[in-house]
Amino acid sequence: MIRLSKQTDYGILLLTLFVESGAEPTLTARALADGAGIPLPTVSKVLKLLQRDGLLVSQRGARGGYSLARAASEISVVDIVHALEGGVGLTECVWSPGECAHEVTCRVSANWQIINDAVVGALQQISLLDMTGPLPHELMPLTVGAFSAPPSS
């Protein structure tokens, strides 16, 4: 099963709360935890990772909290995945080139790279702002068999 971590799922949910809170809000970790129904320690961990990767900025003090580092329309889902997962790698050869024992003889590793790039491309198309509403049914249409060689006569 290919699945994003719960941490990434939480991260996207938390970031949408900034968008839904109006123009350039500063939100505390507690307000985000309460708004999302996620335990405060988990929220704090996710916020630190998002801040470390430059998606959030923090302010200290009585009016402190977190805010988006840039407009929600300029933050892509792949940016969030990179911040919380370290990147997108569907297979070992894509994630850690040179680590797979079968890489030298593998006939499908180049195809996995193409597939991985398509997934990254689809995630790049979707902004944080997009995640606050319904998405179109097709983002990047792919045709099954579109890359197959024509049948031999």
Angle among Cα 66, 72, 77 to the nearest 5 degrees reads: 100
Structural domains of the chain in order of their starting residue, each with its CATH number: 6-132 (1.10.10.10)
In the chain, alpha helices (H):
6-20, 29-36, 40-52, 77-85, 92-95, 109-125
- Could you give phi then psi for residue 6, rounded to 5 degrees? -60, -35
Tokens of 118: 């398509």
Q: What is the pLDDT of residues 86-110, one digit of tens each?
A: 988 888 777 777 777 887 888 888 8
Show pLDDT as tens, one digit a residue, over the chain (153 residues): 678 999 999 999 999 999 999 866 899 999 999 999 999 999 999 999 999 999 999 999 888 999 999 999 999 999 999 999 998 888 877 777 777 788 788 888 888 888 888 889 989 999 999 999 887 766 655 555 555 555 555
Provide the 10 A C-beta neighbour count for residue 65.
Answer: 19
Q: What is the dihedral of CA 85, 88, 91, 94, to 10 degrees?
A: -120
Provide the 10 A C-beta neighbour count for residue 96.
Answer: 11
- Could you give phi then psi for residue 137, rounded to 5 degrees? -70, -30
